[in-house]
Amino acid sequence: MITRRTAIGITLIVLIGLTSWGLAGALEEQKYIDLGKAEYNRGNYDAAIYLFNKAIDLNPDNEYLYNDRGMCYMALGELETAISEFSKAIELKSDCVEAYYNRGLAHFKQGGWGNEGPFDLAIADYSKVTELKHDYADAYYNRGLAYNQLFHYYSKPFSAEVTEKYTNAIADFDKVLELDPTYVLAYAGKGNAYYRNGEFDNATAEFDKALDSMALILEQSDGKGLAGVYASRARNYKEMLELNKSISDYEQAIALDPKLMIALSHQASNYVMVGEYEEAIETYDAEVDILENDPDYKDYAWGYYTYKGRGACCYELGRYDEAIVDFQTLIDDYESEYEPLAYRYLGMIYTAKGDTEKAKQNYDKAVELYSGQIESKPDSYGTYNDRGLCYLGLGEYDSAISDFEKVIELEPNYVDPHSGENLYIEAHKNLGIAYSASGDKDKARQSLEEGLRLANEQGLDETATEIENLLGDL
C-alpha cells in the first residue's frame, strides 16, 4: 500500500495508493493488475483503467480491482464514477477498509462552501474505517478535516450540534497524535479547527508546532503540503490583523507552491490593506498568468477576485485604462455577484476621466443590479453600502443617506480581515460625506465624529486619518 499525506488547510489532495491485497488469481490477471498499477503511478490514468478493465473481465468479483479503478477515476476528477466504483467494492466486501477510505476522500473533494453535504458523507465513511481499523491514523486525520469544514466563527453563536463538530475535530487530531506523535500535520489540522472556531492564539500555537517539524511535513507530504501549513498560519495572522507576519508566511507558501491561488489572492489583499498597490498588482498578475495559461485553472472561481482586485488597484494608482479592461473582463467573462461592483468602479473611473455620461450609465446599471440583490437578500448590509456609494456618485444624496443608515442598522461592527475595513464605521464616514454634499453640515459632523470615535477605538488608524481630514474640510 502506498500512502501519501498532505496538509489540508485549503484543499484536499490526499490519496491512498492502489492495493492488490488478496489478489491471487490467474497469472494473466496479475499481469494486468501490475501493468495497471504501473500506469497509474506514471499518471496514465486512462491506460490504467483499460488494464483494470481487462483484469475485471477475468475476475469480476475482486473488490480491490474496483477500488483501484475508482482511484483512477478520482485522479481524473470523475468523482461520481469513482464513488460508484468504491461502492461496488464495498458491495462485494462489506468490510473493505480501503474502499470506505477512498470513497470518503472522493466525497470530501465534492464538498465546498455552501455544499457541505459531501463532508457529512465523508465523515460517515471515515467513521466506518475507524470502526473497522481502530488505529488508522489517516482516517482520523481526514475525518477531522471534514469536521473542520462544518463550522466557522463567521456563523457564531453555534448551535450545540455545530459545537459538537468542532469538539469532534479537535478529538480526531488529538487521536492522530496519540497514535503517531510524528504525524505533525495533525497540528496544522488542529490549528485550522481553532482558527475556524475563532481561537486565533491557540491556532497560532498549533501551526507553530507543525512548522517546528518542517522536515517531517516534507517527508509526510511534499512542498505543497508545507505550503498549505504556511498559508493556513498566514490566514490566521490575517484574521488577527498581524499583516507583516501574514505577508511573510504567504511569501513562504507561494515560494513552495507558486500556483496556490488562495495564497496569491490573500497576499494581494494584504498588500492592498497596507497600501502597497504595485506589489498587489504584481501578485494579481501572477494569478492572471495562471488563469490564462493553465487549463486546470481556466474556470477557477478566483478569477472573480483577481480581476476585481487588480482593477481596483489600478484605479487607486490612476491607471484608469487598465482598470477599465479588468472590470470589463469581469463583466464579460464571469457571472458573479461582483458584476455590479464592476459597474460601480467603471462609474468612478469615468467620473475621474471626466466622462459624466458614461459614469452615469455605469452607476445606473450598478444601482439596478444592487437593487436586485437587495430584493433577494434584504439583510445584506454590504450591498446597501455599495448601492449607497453609487447614489453618492450620482448625486442622489437622500437615497445614499437612506442606504448608509440601513448599513448602520444591519452591520455588526466587524472588521473584515480581507479588506481591513469595518463597514459599520465606513457607513458613518459615508453618511457624513452624503450629509455634507447635501448641505447639512451639522449632521455630517455628527456622523464623522462618531466614525472617528469608533475608528480610534478599534485601532483603524488609516480610517481615522481619513475621517479627520473630512472633518477638517467641513
Residue ranges of alpha helices (H) inside 59-199 are 63-75, 79-92, 97-110, 117-132, 137-148, 160-179, 185-196
The percentage of the chain sitting over the pLDDT mark of 90, rounded to a whole number, equals 75
Q: What pairing do the DSSP bridges indicate for beta strands 15-16 and 3-4?
A: antiparallel
User: At 101, which CATH number?
Assistant: 1.25.40.10
Contacts of residues 460-466 at CB distance under 8 Å and 24 or more positions apart, as own/partner, are 460/415, 460/420, 460/421, 460/422, 460/425, 462/275, 462/420, 463/421, 463/422, 463/425, 463/426, 463/429, 466/429
User: Is 162 part of a structural domain of the chain?
Assistant: yes
Report pLDDT digits (tens) over 445-462.
999 999 999 989 888 888
Take residue 152 and report the three cell numbers written for it.
466557522
Burial (Cβ within 10 Å: 0-12, 13-18, ≥19) of residue 456: middle
Whole-number pLDDT of residue 418:
58
Residue 69 domain flag: yes
Residue 18's pLDDT band, with cuts at 50, 70 and 90, is very low
Amino acid present at 197: N
Domain edge (last residue) among 115, 135, 160:
115
Whether residue 79 is found in the same domain as residue 162? no
pLDDT at 291: 85
Q: Is 115 helix (H, G, I), strand (E, B) or coil?
A: strand
Give per-residue pLDDT as tens, 300-334. 566 778 899 999 999 999 999 999 999 999 999 88
In a domain, 239, yes or no: yes
In a domain, 375, yes or no: no
Domain boundary among 68, 99, 115: 115
User: Is the previous residue joined to 157 through a cis bond, with omega within 30 degrees of 0?
Assistant: yes
Range of the domain at 426: 400-474
| Distance between CA atoms of residues 429 and 452, nearest Å | 8
Q: Which of 6-15, 129-138, 406-415 has the highest mean pLDDT?
A: 129-138
Listed residues 223, 257, 291: the one ending a domain: 257
342: which 3 cell numbers? 464592476
Structurally, the chain folds into a number of domains equal to 3
